[in-house]
Amino acid sequence: MADEKRKHHFDKRDRRGKRKSEEKVDESSPVIAAFRGYQQELDERYDRYERIIKLSRDVTIESKRTIFLLHRVIGSEDREGLLQQAIDKLSEIEASKFRPIAEELKDEDIYQFIRAYTSGLQEYIEALTFYNFLKNCGLIKLEDVQKRLTFTAADDSNSDETQQKTQAPVDGHIHVVIPPIEYILGVADLTGELMRLTLNSVGKGDFETPYKVCDFMRCMHAAFVTMGSMSRDVVRKTTVLKQSLQKVENACYTLKVRGSEIPKHMLINVLTCASSGNIPGYADEESVEDDP
Amino acid sequence: MHVHNDHINKQSYYLFKLTRLMATEGVKEIFQDFQVYLEHEQKLREDIRQAVQNIEQNAREMMTLLLSVHQQDGIKQTPSICQSVSPMFHVIQEKMRSLAELVPANQYYRFNDIWRFVVQRLAFLAAFLTYLQSETLISRTTVATMIGVEVNREDGFHLDLDDYLQGLLQLASELSRLAVNAVTAGDYARPIRIARFVGDLDAGFRLLNLKNDSLRKRFDGLKYDLKKVEEIVYDLTIRGLKPNETAVQSI
């Protein structure tokens, strides 16, 4: 494949009429010899980068699906069943996507490739923290997420999608290292899902979740504000977080004030109208979040 | 349906009270840890930035000195200029080593945007110096040795391939300028040699399958450098100023 590409490059050059001199120089010149080495090195790096990007894209897609699945948990008859499905999905992402990424990153400087998988990783963290919030009502710790992305040779036999093509890693562990900043950004995305969860749960007659989410998000917002403006990403996500928080706060307000006087099935309408233009707001938030 | 929900609500009520407290406590703890991490990172970045600024100072001095070869009488004084620049690399080596000590193992690329610019500048200086001394293309290993870093990533703080290549592209630009000034200074053989050298470099670079990044952008400028040098050779040739081959070869 790479060879074909190279050939193609040469063909282009033929038209520029440089072919003769180049072919002459090719094998004799030490410059050319050195550059052949660099060519190989660059190709290897770029290829690895591309492979990781592909895996990361799959992680994003699957994680998004998991998040949708998790939204169905609220008001469902089969809460545990759905949660189980979600965690199974996440485990599968780990085994079939993150494991190959970990293999690509083995013995590499992860920061050289971090941009290739940051979006997938954040989306996965969003899904996992969301699952954990629904299941255990708290924030999963970075160490616990890291544990899930640490693989041993034994893991291979457990997963249904055994990665036979990859050579068994030498003793010990391989992992997709999660830089704390990525974790925090993933957690920031979680708040958007929590806001949606709140509105959904009211619709389903669950009046506790809003308060719970509200507490949780206030706490998170406070933490983000304390962090200050250390990176553009954090600032951007803090803004989105605040918008989501206000929607949840308005929802709680409406619940408190009008909760007793309106039938449940009508409350959801009041609520969506009360949180000032919620429907367009919802769309706004989505577009900001997905901004690459 | 209604009854069912009520049941769930009652059941989860006590649990809810408890978890509400636990959840927020957990969040606080997590963010406190992160705050510590952030402060540490900021401090480290600041330290690295200072070390890099320090090196930049030296690099600027070397640059000023080395670029004096462009001056009217500079080309004739090339050997003495090289002699005064050459030992300045010892200071660079020392400073690069102390910079390297700041960077945690396997985290070169976490911070390399801080020193990338100066390393490219240093790679250029080393390449230009070597060219002026021997009219040869400096190898990656030699650049690494001159500025006091490793060649391979596995060995620690190293010379990133991109930075080395960027240094070479800067060299090509500088040489096209030198070709112009050589003619002005009455040296008609040098541009011919520069044209060959830049031609080789161009042939080499065209072997690379570059991505759409800064290296690619800079590489796109190489053809203009080459064109300029070729034009000089053309000008010399049609005016019969081009020296014969033996005169060109003697350095």
Do A150 and A192 belong together in one domain?
no
> What CATH number corresponds to the domain at position A125?
1.20.58.190
Cβ-contact B130, B138 below 8 angstroms: yes
| A20-32: average pLDDT | 61
In a domain, A3, yes or no: no
pLDDT mean over A79-93: 92
Judge whether A74 lies within some domain: yes
One domain, residues A169 and A197: no
The distance of B171 to chain A (nearest Cα, Å) reads: 15
The answer on A166 and A186 residing in a single domain is no
pLDDT tens per residue, range A252-272: 888 887 766 666 666 666 666
Residue A6, domain member (yes or no): no
Are residues A186 and A78 part of one domain?
no
Q: Does residue A291 fall inside a structural domain? A: yes
What percent of chain B shows pLDDT beyond 70?
Answer: 89
* A217 shares its domain with A281: yes
**CB of B205 within 8 Å of any CB in chain A?**
yes
Residues A172 and A217 in one domain: no
- Note whether residue A8 is domain-resident: no
Residue A118 forms part of a structural domain: yes
For helices B108-134 and A110-136, what crossing angle results, to 10°? 170
Q: Which residues of B touch A205 (CB under 8 A)?
A: 2, 5
Question: Which residue among A178, A206, A221 closes a domain?
Answer: A178
For the segment A187-215, what is each residue's pLDDT rounded down to a tens digit? 888 988 988 888 888 777 777 788 888 88
Residue found by looking up tokens 């090195």 in the block: A41
Percent share of chain A, pLDDT over 70: 72
Find the closest chain A residue to B141 by CA distance. Answer: A34
Residues A139 and A195 in one domain: no
Does A228 have pLDDT greater than 80? no
Whether residue A106 is contained in a domain is answered as yes
Residues A168, A132 share a domain? yes
Q: What is the pLDDT of residue A158?
A: 44
Given a cut of 70, the residues of chain B with pLDDT beneath it are 1-23, 250-251
What is the per-residue pLDDT for A282?
Answer: 42
Which of A136-150, A157-171, B33-47, B74-88 is predicted with the least confidence, judged by mean pLDDT? A157-171
The pLDDT of residue A97 is 93
Q: What is the CA radius of gyration of chain B?
A: 28
**Looking at residue A291, what is its pLDDT?**
40
Of A145, A178, A211, the domain-final residue? A178
Q: What is the CATH number of the domain that holds A233?
A: 1.20.58.200
Last residue of a domain, one of A178, A202, A226: A178
- Which stretch, A124-128, A227-231, B2-6, B105-109, has highest mean pLDDT? A124-128
Q: Is residue A112 part of a domain?
A: yes
Is residue A91 classed as helix, strand or coil in its secondary structure? helix
Chain A touched by B165 (CB under 8 Å): yes
Q: What is the mean pLDDT of residues A40-46?
A: 93
Chain A positions touching B211 (Cβ under 8 A) are 46
Show the domain range for A124.
Answer: 29-178
Q: Return the pLDDT at B114.
A: 95
Same domain, A164 and A186: no
- Work out the pLDDT band at A159, boundaries 50, 70, 90: very low
Count structural domains, chain A.
Answer: 2
Residues A167 and A210 in one domain: no
User: A66 pLDDT exceeds 70?
Assistant: yes
pLDDT at A283: 40
User: For residue B136, which of A25, A36, A32, A31 has the smallest C-alpha distance?
Assistant: A31
Average pLDDT, chain A: 77
Residue A131 has pLDDT above 90, yes or no: yes
Residues A257 and A276 in one domain: yes
A208 contacts on B by Cβ (under 8 Å): 9, 12-13, 16
Q: Residue A60 burial (CB < 10 Å; 0-12/13-18/19+)?
A: buried
Shared domain check, A173 and A43: yes
- The dihedrals phi and psi of A152, each to the nearest 5 degrees, come to -120, 170
CATH topology of domain B56-249: Methane Monooxygenase Hydroxylase; Chain G, domain 1 (1.20.58)
Q: B2 contacts in A (CB within 8 Å)?
A: 205
A193 annotated as a binding-site residue: yes
